[in-house]
């Protein structure tokens, strides 16, 4: 059983080439990677299937421009590979009969997203014959999945009117909230978040719903987001919410109890970890650990890290339930188990003397290995 970190980035694609990364890198091992292009609609996409050991790969479709990268296409490929691997671990820890996959559509969704492009993307997913089941992610929404589903029956996250589960952000936020409660119970002896100060970086689809739950639970909330309109939406709903000008300002807030990264990955790195004032990190973003060793840096500083792919699995639990005739109460009941799973990880980490991220990996790998040897 290998000790593969799902959050480790597959770097060097430009220098070594994608074949070296996939076939020779310790972080490779993906079953299938599909590069998609439809010139008529402008579609450029990557579909990465990491594993189908537990069942068909399940993971969302990210729509992102990678405009700040020197090589956007290679950055998108790295992202798809990392996210697909993370989905294998996430689905295993969530107890789902699904492997891990992820897709990335390259480009600014505000500029190039069209019905024709989404239909073309749906045809590429359909061509995989059910090996990959798609859903929403950053930059894609329920209405988009309704369009994709016109060409591909292996599409989840559709609207209730089209037989779907609707916005999976609802149970993603709920699951992160359960992870926070478990973290509080382990760190402070009680899951009660009343009076705790929680910093939420990124108040988009998931983050603003998480703020709703935190305010309802009696927590004090500080938010930040690169988009002013996202912050304004939170302030409109919760006028008492404090605002930090930047993520660096947020993580250095005196008296912060919990830090919740809820934007893009790589939020925890050599620059941010030394600045953290919070005793707990628990958020919705995928691949929060920028590189191997960050989990140890957090542990060395006495910061309790709730593994991202465990606590943010409520969304994938929701869309997986859609494949069996969606029942929100049933999906929410399963997402509530994230609380118990998070406590199990903390207990194993203490027993084995390893960071929680390593303990979570070992549990997930054990499940995949058991199924793989049947």
Rounded to the nearest integer, the mean pLDDT of the chain is: 91
pLDDT in tens, 161-203: 998 988 889 999 999 999 999 999 999 999 999 999 999 999 9
pLDDT in tens, 304-342: 999 999 999 999 999 999 998 999 999 999 999 999 999
Residue 309's alpha-carbon distances to 27, 231, 360, 368, 369, in angstroms, are 17, 25, 9, 15, 18
Taking the model in full, what pTM does it have?
0.86
Q: How confident is the model at residue 105 (pLDDT cuts 50, 70, 90)?
A: very high
C-alpha 320: how far from its chain's center?
A: 15
Identify the CA nearest to 137 among candidates 64, 50, 213, 32: 64
Identify the CA nearest to 260 among candidates 223, 303, 230: 223
**Which residue numbers are catalytic?**
102
Token representation of residue 342: 């998070």
pLDDT in tens, 39-96: 999 999 999 999 999 999 999 999 999 998 889 999 999 889 988 998 999 999 999 9
């Amino acid at each position: 059983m290998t000790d593969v970190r799902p959050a480790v980035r597959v770097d060097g694609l430009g220098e070594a080439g994608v074949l070296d990364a996939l076939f020779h890198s310790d972080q490779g091992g993906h079953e299938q990677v599909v590069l998609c292009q439809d010139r008529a609609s402008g579609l450029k996409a990557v579909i990465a299937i990491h594993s189908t050991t537990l069942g068909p790969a399940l993971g969302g479709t990210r729509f992102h421009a990678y405009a700040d990268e020197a090589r956007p296409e290679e950055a998108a490929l790295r992202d798809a590979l990392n996210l697909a691997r993370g989905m294998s671990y996430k689905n295993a820890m969530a107890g789902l009969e699904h492997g891990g996959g992820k897709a990335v559509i390259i480009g600014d969704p505000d500029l190039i997203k069209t019905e024709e492009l989404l239909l073309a993307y749906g045809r590429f997913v359909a061509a995989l014959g059910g090996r990959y089941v798609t859903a929403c992610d950053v930059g894609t929404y329920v209405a988009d999945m309704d369009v994709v589903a016109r060409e591909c029956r292996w599409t989840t996250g559709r609207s209730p009117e089209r037989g779907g589960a609707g916005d999976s952000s609802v149970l993603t936020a709920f699951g992160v909230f359960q992870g926070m409660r478990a973290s509080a119970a382990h760190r402070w002896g009680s899951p009660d978040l009343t009076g705790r100060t929680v910093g939420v970086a990124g108040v988009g689809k998931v983050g603003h719903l998480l703020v709703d739950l935190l305010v309802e639970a009696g927590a004090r909330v500080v938010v930040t987001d690169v988009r002013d309109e996202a912050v304004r939406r939170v302030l409109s709903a919760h006028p008492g919410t404090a605002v930090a000008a930047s993520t660096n300002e947020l993580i250095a807030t005196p008296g912060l109890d919990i830090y919740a990264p809820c934007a893009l990955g790589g939020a925890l790195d050599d620059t941010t970890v030394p600045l953290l004032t919070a005793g707990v990190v628990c958020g919705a973003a995928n691949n929060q650990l920028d590189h191997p060793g960050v989990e140890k840096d957090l542990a060395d500083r006495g910061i309790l890290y709730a593994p991202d792919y465990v606590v943010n699995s409520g969304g994938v639990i929701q869309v997986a339930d859609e494949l069996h005739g969606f029942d929100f109460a049933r999906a929410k009941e399963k997402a509530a188990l994230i609380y118990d799973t998070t406590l199990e990880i903390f207990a194993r980490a203490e027993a084995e003397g390893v960071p929680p991220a390593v303990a979570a990996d070992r549990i997930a790998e054990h499940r995949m290995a058991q199924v793989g040897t049947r």
